[in-house]
Amino acid sequence: MNAAFRAMLQARAGSTVAASRALQGVTHNLSRGEWREVLASEFLMPLLPPTLGIGSGSIIDHLGGQSAQQDLVIYDRTLVPPALVGSTFSGLFPIDGVLFTIEVKSTLTADELRDADEKARALEKMAYLNVAIPRAVASAPGLLGPTGPVSASGGHAFAGVGGSGAQGPVDHASRLEKAVPCLFAFAADSRNVLDDYLRSEVADPGLRALCVVDLGYWFWKEPQGWQRGWVSEDGMREAWDYAEMLDFASTILARYDQIRATRVRDLNPFISPRE
């Protein structure tokens, strides 16, 4: 670990949280956009490489499907490009270019967590382009997850145990890594809100990563289930300020290249009339 570098990132995370808490003191009703813009502009955007972009809007597929409004969408500029509205970061995002989605909450409640999970499940059903992918990807070994190999068989980059792929070109869906649905909250109504979700008997939750300031970071990994990243404990707050936020960001940076390697670059199915 480089202490100076980590301290600089902790300072950036701290300014993000401070801005969110300042917004809580404003008397007028705040839109969801203000919370997501704080997270995007203050914390995530400076950390992402130039090939990645952050936006907000609906995700679409080549069959005409469209998702509900997504708070934040992290997409790859080198894949299928989004259609943005003017100079804003709002628009429509083809699913084949989307790597992560992030629901942003000021104070997470049980109802909001349930709604976020439902939105993530709906996203899971969207259609990805079904074409052959390069031999280099088709024959690559299983992708690495946070603590081990990840299946490339139509799953998420935070989950599973993988093996070597078939030789030669294969159907894209057989190696697909889908967009990873995440949730970020600046606070939680109570710790029980998270504990109930993490202890649920759901074998395949919609959300794949949870980050709540001051409480911790969790990611889903198959077959083990929810895994703890940094989780707050008594006496650790001062020494590890905002470690949960840094873990969340570092996971995105470590996984994005592996996800996009399983995608294709083809705008045509989104714009050409189907026969």
Q: How many CB atoms lie within 10 A of CB 213?
A: 21
Cβ proximity of 28 and 63 under 8 Å: no
CB burial class (10 A; 0-12, 13-18, 19+) of residue 162?
buried
**Helix boundaries (H) for 89-190:** 110-124, 135-138
Comparing CA positions, the residue from 124, 7, 129, 136 lying closest to residue 63 is 129
The residue whose two tokens read 């950036």 is 12
**Beta strands at 177-178 and 155-156: parallel, antiparallel or unpaired:** parallel
Counting every residue written for the chain, the total comes to 275
- In whole angstroms, what is the distance from residue 207 CA to residue 114 CA? 10
Comparing CA positions, the residue from 247, 264, 248, 194 lying closest to residue 74 is 248
Q: CA-CA distances (angstroms) from residue 248 to 3, 51, 162, 195?
A: 18, 19, 22, 18
Q: What is the pLDDT of residue 83?
A: 94
Q: What is the pLDDT of residue 130?
A: 65
What would the pLDDT profile of 166-208 be if each residue is shown by its tens digit? 333 444 445 789 999 999 999 998 888 888 888 875 668 999 9
What would the pLDDT profile of 150-169 be if each residue is shown by its tens digit? 333 456 665 432 233 333 34
Three-state secondary-structure class, residue 209 = strand
What would the pLDDT profile of 41-87 be if each residue is shown by its tens digit? 889 999 999 999 999 999 999 999 999 999 999 999 999 999 998 77
